[in-house]
With several copies, the nearest count.
Chain A
Amino acid sequence: MSSLITRVRLKQIENLIEKGKRLDGRGLGDYREIKIEQGIIEKAEGSARVLLGKTEVLVGVKIETGEPFPDTPNEGVLTVNAELVPLASPSFEAGPPDENSIELARVVDRGIRESKAIDAEKLVIEPGKKVFVVFVDIYVLNHDGNLIDAAALAAVAALRNTKMPNYEIENGEVKIKQGYTQLPMRAYPITVTLGKINGKLIVDPWLEEEEAIDSRISLAINDEGNICAIQKGGVGYFTPQQILEAARIAKEKATALRKKLDW
């Protein structure tokens, strides 16, 4: 990402963090304010909008029928896609997904997949032939930093909000019936991202801090407090101690967040 902030600003951020403070008044381990709205796209089977400070992510879930993958004939299909639409930031460009949007989608995908959040076996209509395909489309509407946590939260919130069409099989053909069933969920992973500035770890870096950090680490934590996915990013490094410290903080933050959300 191009350098959008000045060296003076960068120095300011670093100096504050040295003292355990941040530009926007937060403590090193604090999240920005989080707002979640569910069900705002009526035409989608599920949807949620997350505001993480000024970062805004909308996730829509669509459910269609399709074929299972040959190696998992008894499981439905999950497809996660992310669009960094150009109205969200001057640094986003229209066009096919770039490495940043692909990484975002794949990190959110792993959190959901590895925690077995969706009960994929209940999405099977006819084993090996026909299953429900769950499309999770992440739409970043305003980029003010820490897209991973906002997108992961919006994705799980949207899935919690998702209804599957009822169906019956008539003469070998799937007939969609009236009514809906809740999408079968087994877990609600929460992803916590930390950045490293001058050797210090900060939670939920916002846009200007993202310019200042040399690396980040994102950990998806499941309902039991176990780790189910990790992604290190950025051109810097962590010491092994910092990694364990980050894992500890992530677990703590996820538990707190989970309590607050009543998930």
Chain B
Amino acid sequence: MSEKPEKLIDKKGLRLDGRKPDELRPIKIEVGVLSNADGSAYIEHGKNKILAAAFGPREMHPKHLTLPDRMVLRCRYHMAPFSVQERKSPAPSRREIELSKVIREALEPAVFVEYYPRTGVDIFIEVLQADGGTRCASITAAALALADAGIPMRDLVAACAAGKVGDTVVLDLMDTEDKVGSADVPVAIMPNLNAVTLLQMDGILTFEEFERAVDLAIEGCKKIYAVQKEALKARYMAVKQEEEVEE
């Protein structure tokens, strides 16, 4: 069913979906979309559709996981059965368990965990549709869910992958590029702190290509950061308006 496209980059240097090598897919973010979560965000990044929610700081269950000097962050990255081509069993796969861990470790550097000792924050991520780069889009959304929940943070975390397609280092691989391409480098950063909080790599890159990919990914993250801030602003304007109406 999945036939390999002949050319990932055409003669004009454009990609399968018409993007230039350093161009992001369209991104749409909305903050505060779920009424039961303490914080939430919805992201459409290309054809990825992802919901993230944060609950907490709150009492933890089971209690013995509590830490006396800090908040405990937990994270579950989960894909809906209908989010991918072949139906995925709802039971967590090994891939989902690994991604839950690296996403948590990408977000935790941004959180002032020492502010709320003996509490826990749960981050739940649901991938409703997947199209390559779900871990990065999940981090982008989850950081906003944490902010929306009022968790004290050093900075937002923005995430984006770069990679290699044919001989070209490109930004923000979509599904086909990810599968057929020769390398994928997902990166998450705290933009104001010049800090990389997620870095993984698949494929083969020379040192120079790797350097270029990291640079490109960081540039992408910074653009996404701008979208994140807009979404937060929109959320606060809405909340403010609601409050004014209520007064």
Contact = CB atoms under 8 A, between A and B. Distances in A.
Which of under 10, 10 to 19, 20 to 34, or 35 or more describes the interface residues of A? 35 or more
A60 B82 contact: yes
Contact of A103 (B2, B98, B126, B204): B98
B108 A235 contact: yes
A172 B28 CA distance: 46
Pick from B78, B82, B122, B130 the residue with the most CB of A within 10 Å. Answer: B82
A235 B215 CA distance: 22
7 contacts: A71-B2, A105-B94, A135-B82, A137-B82, A176-B1, A231-B200, A237-B193
- Chain A contact residues: helix, strand, loop or mixed: mixed
Interface stretch (A10-18, A30-38, A220-228): A220-228
A144 B109 contact: no
* Main SS at interface, chain B: mixed
A94 interface: yes
A60 B204 contact: no
A33 to B, nearest CB: 14
A239 B214 contact: no
Given A86-B76, A234-B105, A248-B207, A42 B47 contact: yes
Contacts of A233: 102, 105
B91 A96 contact: yes
Contacts of A244: 211, 214
Given A85-B126, A99-B98, A114 B84 contact: no
Contacts of B241: none
A248 to B, nearest CB: 7
B118 to A, nearest CB: 16
Using C-beta atoms within 8 Å of the partner chain, give the interface range for chain B.
Answer: 35 or more
Contacts of A83: 80-81, 90
B104 to A, nearest CB: 8
Interface string B32-73: 001111001000000101011101000000000000000000
Interface string B95-129: 10110111001001100000000000010111011
A169 to B, nearest CB: 17
Contacts, number: 180
B192 interface: no
B207 A227 contact: yes
B218 A43 contact: no
A97 B211 CA distance: 34
B24 interface: no
B195 A44 contact: no
A90 B39 CA distance: 12
Nearest to A98: B97
Contacts of A213: none
Contact of B49 (A41, A215, A235): A41
Contact of B82 (A61, A99, A105, A143): A61
A40 B129 CA distance: 9
A251 interface: yes
B35 A142 contact: yes
A239 B34 contact: no
A226 B206 contact: yes
Interface string A39-54: 0111110010000001
